[in-house]
Structures are given as structure tokens and as C-alpha cells.
Amino acid sequence: MSLSFGDPFYLSVGAGLVVLLLMAFRSHARRRQALAGALGGRRAASRLSRRDLYRVRLERALLLGLAAAAVAAAAAEPRWAGEVPPPEPPPLPRSVVIAIDVSMSMQADDLPPTRLATAVDIAHDLIEALEGERVGLLLFAGNTYPLATPTLDHAALGYLLRGVTHTIASAHDPGTLLSNAIRESVTLLSRVAAGDGERGGEEAIVLIGDGEAGEPGSAVLEAVRDAGDRGIAVHAIGVGTSAGGGMVIPEAPFQLERTVVDQGGAPAISRLEETLLVQIAAAGRGEYALAGDPGDMDQLRHAVAPPPRAPPPSDLPSLWALFDWVFWLTAFAVLLLFGEGLLGLRIPRWKPSSARSPA
């Protein structure tokens, strides 16, 4: 364990001050002795002055020299080698957009009660894991439906998610355009509210869906690469099974409940398309997770919301780590200067008044 200095130059300055002080005291002592000689020598000077003009005031030279050395040492910023450095400023909050597929295929019941209900539960878990980070919400099918710009108000996000139910799917927008969802998510990330802080933290998109797309995969991957060029990571969560499930259009205003059928009139089956989702995560430098797989979900959760960094270990006792050398050296210098100022004070002696003799 050794002592180091942030700016050793001030040690040289301190040494120069000490030398100048010693020279000044030497010159002052010579002038005092010359004055005593002019007054008639030691005996005559002692009768005319309360001080011994021949005595060199070493105590004052010592106090002022130590004070100058302490100030110079404090200015040099001393610290123990291995001392815990000042804490780094906290990282800027991340901005994450959770995009949920609400197309007709998300009504499949292979993940009971439906894929959409499972996707909403996953979104709730992600928002909880992203505590202290900015989170936005987007719904998409053939069109996009932004719900929230990335915000720190997670209570509001939970309220909005409660409205994402099975009745939100519509026969008027049954398709899925993943490229539109990715581009709209990038737009939401660019609109981070000024009240939530400046942009600059990590940015990511989490797609939650079954991978069915009504467009070529090349168009989707092009949108992913555009997001990557902006420094945005794209993660994907697959909701569904390879066996698939049937779909039912729920009853809603101006919409009757009915089973979705194929061109032959048989109930249509929607299956999870993992291939495209895996490609999206790979192109977006993100993670792919299968809903229902605890290992996959934990890995994706740590990628989107990594745990806080632990402080670097210190090889010094906590007492030394908390010891502020600059403060104590400065306080020591002030104390020395205060003591030097008291050296010239003289306490008046109390003399008893003489009693008058009777007349």
C-alpha cells in the first residue's frame, strides 16, 4: 500500500515555498539584529523592546513551513494506491419498445387461453424486469397501433396492457406486417419524451408474436438491419407451437363471433413460424426466446434488462477508502496558521493594586 498523487507538480511548488519562507525568516532575523545594534546592543534593545531582537523565531518558521507544505500536498491530490475511485455516474436509462402481434393468428388456442393472452403476460413480466428503464408499447397486425412512447411511467403501461384483450383482434385487419412494426418501433424510440431524460442509453425492440408474416422475409430483415444501423437491438419472442391451433374471431361491436376457416371451409390452423423470428434476432444482434421455455426467457430477460453492475472490489480497508486526505491536510494547514497567529499575543499580567497608607 503506497501513497500516490494526482498532480505531483504541486509538491515542487510546496518545496519552493518552504525555501522562500526560510530565506525570508533569515533576512528578517538579520534586520532585527541590525535594529538591535542601532539601539545600542542587546542590553539597550531589551530595555526599549519587550522582545529579544537577537532571538531567531524558529517556532514561527516551523509553523508556516509546515502549513505551506500541507497546502501543497493537498493541492497535489494525495490518495492511497488502490483506493476506491469515485463512483461512476449512473448509466442513462434504456429505451425499449415492446411490440405485440394482435393479428388474427394470435387468437390461436395452442397456448391457452390464447397466444395473445400469453403475449400480454410476457409483456407484463418484461415491464417489471425493466424497472427504472423507459418502456414503450406498440400493437401491430397489418397496420401499427402505437400505445405509448418509451416512458418511465410503468403504471400507465400496465393500465394500457389491461385493454389488450382477445376482442382487440379484428376481421378488418387480419394480416401481419413485421417490417411495419419494426419501423414504427424505431419511430417511437426517436420520440423519447424530453421529461424522461435525454436519449443516449441503450435502445432495443422486443417483438412478441407467432412469426407469421404477410410479406417476404427479406423485407422484414431489411427493416431489422436499418434498426441495427441506428444502434437498436431487435429481440424476438415466439408465441405458439409447431402443432398450431384453431382461431376464433371474437364477438365485438359490429363483429360476430365465428371460426376462422381456410379456402376449403375447414377450420384454419395457425402454427408458430420460428425460422423468421430466429433470423430477426440474429440480424438484429438480439436474442430469440420461445414462450414457455424458462431458460430461453431468462436469457432474453437478461439481454434486455441486464442486472446492475457491481462496484469494483477494493484491496484497502474501508477506513482508508473513506479517508479524505485533501480535507485533513487543508484543515491541518489552517490550524498551523491559526497557531502561528497566536504566537504574537501576550496576556496582560494582573497586578494587585497597592493599599494606600493611612494619612
The DSSP result for 20-59, as a single string, is HHHHHHHHHHHHHHHHHHHTTSHHHHHHH-SS-TTS--HH
Q: How confident is the model at residue 16 (pLDDT cuts 50, 70, 90)?
A: confident
Q: Residue 315 — very low, low, confident or very high, per pLDDT cuts 50/70/90?
A: low
Provide the β-strand partners of residue 245.
Answer: 270
Planar angle of CA 98, 101, 106, nearest 5 degrees: 140
The pLDDT tens digits for 217-254 are 999 999 999 999 999 999 999 999 989 888 777 766 65
The C-alpha atoms of residue 94 and residue 150 are separated, in whole angstroms, by 9
Residue 274 has pLDDT above 60, yes or no: yes
**What is the distance between the alpha carbons of residues 135 and 39, in angstroms, rounded to a whole number?**
88
pLDDT at 27: 77
Q: Do the beta carbons of residue 103 and residue 166 sit within 8 Å?
A: no
Burial class from Cβ neighbours inside 10 Å (0-12, 13-18, 19+) for residue 173 reads middle
CATH of 95-304, one of 3.40.50.410, 3.90.180.10, 3.30.479.30, 3.40.50.300: 3.40.50.410
**Three-class DSSP category at 100:** strand
Task: Give the pLDDT band (50/70/90) at residue 74.
Answer: confident
* C-alpha cell of residue 63: 509553523
Task: Please tell me the pTM assigned to this model.
Answer: 0.62
Asked if 68 contacts 21 with a C-beta cutoff of 8 angstroms, the reply is: yes
Phi-psi domain of 40 (left: phi exceeds 0; alpha: psi -120 through 50; beta: other): left
Alpha helices in 130-238 (DSSP H): 154-161, 178-189, 217-229
SS3 assignment, position 247: coil
**Hey, which residues does 148 pair with through a beta bridge?**
137
* 3-class state of residue 300 by DSSP: helix
Residues 6+ apart with CB under 8 A from 276: 178, 211, 213, 217, 220
Other CB atoms within 10 Å distance of the CB of residue 67? 22
Domain boundaries, the chain: 3-85+314-342, 95-304
Q: What is the DSSP letter of 281?
A: H
Rg, Å, the chain Cα set: 40
- The yes-or-no verdict on residue 147 having pLDDT over 50 is yes
Distance CA 23, CA 157 (A): 74
H or E stretch at 290: strand 288-290
| pLDDT, mean over the chain | 79
**ω before 113 within 30° of 0 (cis)?**
yes
Q: Which residues contact 52 (CB under 8 A, 6 or more apart)?
A: 42, 45, 46
Q: Give pLDDT, residue 179.
A: 95
Residue 22 has pLDDT above 80, yes or no: no
State how far the Cα of 156 lies from the Cα of 59, in Å rounded to an integer: 71
| CB-neighbour burial class of residue 50 (10 A; exposed 0-12, middle 13-18, buried 19+) | exposed
Choice among 43-47, 61-65, 301-305 with the minimum mean pLDDT: 43-47
Arithmetic mean of pLDDT, 168-177: 75
Catalogue the E-assigned strands of 48-167. 78-80, 95-101, 134-140, 144-151
Q: Which backbone phi and psi does 302 adopt, to 5 degrees?
A: -70, -30
Among 5-9, 153-157, 270-274, the range scoring the smallest mean pLDDT is 5-9
